[in-house]
Structure 1
Amino acid sequence: MIKNILLVGLGGFIGSTLRYVTYLFIDKRFELTFPLSTFTVNIIGSFLLGIIMSLAAKDLLNEPMRLLLAVGICGSFTTFSTFALENLNLLSGKEVFTSFLYIAASVVLGIGAAFAGQLIVK
């Protein structure tokens, strides 16, 4: 049990660090109203989670690796709370169209990315 907790913690460190690097790479370079870095990590994370869970379902990934990759890395790389706050800020700033575009694109592309991840494993 301690090993699994440490694996999730290690994955959390890696995923949150990757999310921050993505923020530095995207949002610090481009001044956009659209929250591109959060959108990017959520779509990539959905794609990776689709791959990881499909591999696990086929018994091609053991439980410790699933915990490291899915719960740790993907869990901390993606972020729904930031997504919610960014939409609240967009709506408060009267950026209604941008907010709805962000919500719709995140949901549709996130599900599509997870599906694509599954297809790659099949």
Structure 2
Amino acid sequence: MTFVLVAIGGAFGACLRFLTDRWVQARHDTGFPWGTLTANSIGSLVLGILTGAALFGLQLPELQALIGVGFCGALTTFSTFGYESVRLLADGARLYAVLNVLGTVLAGIGSGVLGVVLAAAFWA
């Protein structure tokens, strides 16, 4: 049953990742990968909330499989982040590449911590 939950969550996360990327990129006229940064930040926030909820007593393995592994796993993407960073370097956009790496790492960590803090405020 866990496999099915991960698959369902992954299907929704992948679709939302694609739609988020397209929606955000359509609103920015730059080569910077704002869509991937946004999807990764949202996924980190959701995973932070889920992790925080588990830390403060809400132990739901099915929800963790559905949302944590499936949904967040498909919504966030390290491979696209890596590809876009290398592509920016190859295209000579070194500043964008560095900003993408720093921004994604900091936004991911910050969003995850924010999620845990929000969960603590709600469940602790």
Q: TM-score, normalised by structure 2?
A: 0.92
Answering whether residue 111 of structure 2 is matched by residue 108 of structure 1, we say no
Equivalent residue number for residue 41 of structure 1 = 39
Aligned-residue sequence identity (percent) comes to 35
* RMSD (CA atoms): 1.0
Mapped contact 2:13–2:72 kept (Cα < 8 A): yes
- 2: distance between equivalents of 1:40 and 1:103? 13
Q: How many residues align?
A: 120
Q: TM-score, normalised by structure 1?
A: 0.94
> 1:120 aligns to what SS in structure 2?
helix
Stretches of structure 2 that go unaligned for 5 or more consecutive residues are none
Q: Summarize the alignment of residues 1-122 of structure 1 with structure 2, pairs less than 5 Å apart.
A: 3-122=1-120
Amino acid at match of 2:106: V
TM-superposed deviation, 1:61: 4.0
TM-superposed deviation, 1:100: 0.3
Runs (4+) off by over 2 Å: 28-31
Stretches of structure 1 that go unaligned for 5 or more consecutive residues are none
